[in-house]
Structure 1
Amino acid sequence: MTRIAYFGPEGTFTEMALLQCQDLAARGAMSVPGFDLVGAERISAPSQVAALQMVSDGAADLACVPIESSVEGPVTPTLDALGFGAPLQIFAETDLAVAFSIASRVPLAQARTVGAYPVAAAQVRAWLAVNMPQAQVVPAASNAAAALDVAEDRVDAGVTTALAARMYDVPEVATGVADVADARTRFVLCGKPGPAPARTGSDCTAVVIDVPSRPGSLALAMAEFALRGVDLTRIESRPKRTVFGSYVFHFDCVGHIDDPAVGEALRALHRVCDELRFLGSWPRPGGPGTAPVDPGDSEVWFDGLRRGER
């Protein structure tokens, strides 16, 4: 049986994202070569890093972890684990609308403490200031743990998920809570390196690069994509942890490693970078950016020139 670790405990948005992946797989809309997503065993892990480490250690086949929030930006523990840890690869992704529930056994106006995972607290700060100004925010270990803290009377209210509120039998006194409407978070399924899923024509490719420490190195690396018409959709810098002021860069681009333009860009990057880590090519239906141009017409034209045709 396929084992999938996820950032737990039960009731978190990450478990909800994993359940969504399994539902997509059941409908034939998602797959990871060699693994049964539908019948997979779900294994809770205490952190994103722990979930990914379970894959590296062989305790799980895949891991489901958040990688980017439309409100808070990159999930840096995930980026760092993928960028510096044992080699892992992204095989699939999904995204989830993120709106919270306030779970409590007392009315909002009577709550003196509200438990919240720090990332969640940042996404509902304004709502809490307006609707629960008297409540002190108390850090929770996760979104689901905030509901458990209410159930066990450690706090009066919790910023949590609807799934966790039901799981711990705590009433939802407010739903759809978010400072930013339509907030979403991307989640990825990661495993040990292997063949990428087949090209679909609506794909994403991710790499981590370490460029030489000289003027223009990053610009030259980015130019390898631009010159080939490959759209970069995300660039993040992360400290290398070895020398102060030195960084690696995470690139996401539109396209698949089997797209000629993307393949050419990756080969060129390998020549100019000190190190390049391939994080995968996978389907991303409806993702941002413009698909790379198929160079087929220019290849036909060039072959004609070589044959003496004008």
Structure 2
Amino acid sequence: MSLPRYAYLGPAGTFTEQALGQVASREEAVYLPQPDVTSALAAVRAGDADFAVVAIESTGEGGVTATLDALASGSPLVLLREMLVPVQFDVVAAAGVQLADVRRVSAHPHAWAQSRVWLTAQLPGAVHVPAASNTSSAALLGAGEPVSFDAALVPPSAVDAYGLQVLAHGVADNPDAVTRFVLVGHPGDVPAPTGADKTTLVVHLPDDEAGALLSMLEQFATRGINLSRIESRPIGDALGRYSFSIDAEGHVADARVGEALMGLRRHCPFVRFLGSYPRADEVEPVLRAGTADADYADARAWLDALRRGEVG
């Protein structure tokens, strides 16, 4: 039996690779490094990979827009689980370079954003040279390639992988910084509810209706569903038209979530279900009175009785 194939943001040593390691080891899977998130998801859509692991949210920058946009369009994909990876960086350089020599630093934009305060204090005036991933610049340094930067901001795992000199350890503005990754695959059987789940959606609003956003949010609020993330993204077909990327607490199998999805379907021109999957932190939602599955079942039984002519 062939091993499952996982596309992920490479090269070796990225935080994405660490997240993939929580799903399957190299002995259990074929790792397929990709140059960017869009390519990783495209590999699944094209059948070149069975799954992809991509970053979707960070404590520093919120939603990863490349992931949100790639999931919102194209052939449907679904999220199957999430993984959390603590994030800190090392400043690395080729042999002989000192921290005082650094004027240009290569870093992925999210890495730069999560270390901006430290970089301003320790490397005042340093110029950001954007990198495609957290280890692409480390790979260039390790290979001895001519580069346009003096140092790179990389995950600690990249230091040994590319044999680099460390100029500073543990670089991060927030010592508790975390990035959330998701395992993405083709639609199929939804992971069974665990009691501590998330449901991810993309929702478009009607653009000719006052209060459309409120109507959409009420589908969740009236059913006691907390939203752990909601972000607007341009639809792209005209100025002023936006979709919403949403993480809701609960599972599509939960009565309250199912009712909310039906409400969205009735009110919104486009709803894309991106999956229900276990929360990595295993935190169960606090249910408001009257919103548990048993409450919905009791109310349904009562209504059915009324429709049969029974008064109660």
Give the structure 1 partner of residue 22 of structure 2: 20
State the 1:195 CA deviation. 1.4
**How far has the Cα of 1:175 moved from its partner?**
1.6
Alignment of 1:136-155 (within 5 A): 136-151=127-142, 152=144, 154=147, 155=149
Gap change, CA 1:44 and 1:301, over 3 Å in 2:
closer
Cα distance change on mapping 1:132 and 1:227 into 2, 3 Å: same
SS in 2 for 1:265: helix
Of 174, 182, 201, the residue aligned with 1:180 is 174
Residue in structure 2 matching 1:109, options 100, 117, 138: 100
Measured in 1, the distance between the counterparts of 2:300 and 2:71 equals 40
Partner of 2:279: 284
- Provide the C-alpha distance between the structure 2 equivalents of 1:113 and 1:238, rounded to a whole number of angstroms: 32
**Equivalent residue for 2:52, pick from 35, 54, 63:** 63
Quote the residue 1:192 is aligned against. 186
Q: Which residue is equivalent to 1:40? A: 29
TM-score (normalizing by structure 1): 0.89
Q: Deviations over 1:197-235 (max 9, x none)?
A: 001000000111112111111211111111111111211
On the 8 A contact 1:202/1:291 being kept in 2, the answer is: no
Amino acid at match of 2:205: V
What is the match of residue 33 of structure 1? none
Alignment gaps of 5+ in structure 1: 24-36
Distance 1:254 1:206 in 2: 9
Find the counterpart in structure 2 of residue 97 from structure 1. 86
Residue in structure 2 matched with residue 126 of structure 1 by the alignment: 117
Q: Aligned AA for 2:160?
A: R
TM-score, structure 2 as length reference? 0.88
Q: 1:140 to 1:250 in 2, by over 3 A?
A: closer
Encode CA deviations 1:19-57: one digit per residue, 9 max, x unaligned. Answer: 12326xxxxxxxxxxxxx971111011110110000000
Correspondence for 1:31: none
Match of 2:212 in 1: 217
Aligned length: 297
Question: Structure 2 stretches of 5 or more lacking a match?
Answer: none
* Amino acid paired to 2:197: D
Match of 2:225 among 213, 227, 230: 230
Q: Which residue of 2 aligns with 1:29?
A: none
Match of 1:273 among 252, 268, 271: 268
Task: Tell me which amino acid in the other structure corresponds to 1:220.
Answer: S
Indicate if the aligned counterparts of 1:4 and 1:61 stay in contact, CA closer than 8 A.
yes
Distance 2:299 2:112 in 1: 57
Instruction: Determine what percentage of the aligned residue pairs are the same residue.
Output: 43
Give CA-to-partner distance per residue, 1:239-280, whole Å, 9 cap, x none. 111121111111110000100110111112111111111000
Residue 80 of structure 1 is aligned with which of 69, 84, 90? 69
Distance 1:297 1:266, change over 3 A: closer
**What secondary structure, in the 3-state scheme, does the structure 2 residue paired with 1:21 have?**
coil
Note if contact 2:198-2:278 (Cα within 8 Å) is conserved in structure 1: yes
Three-state SS of the structure 1 residue aligned to 2:225 is coil
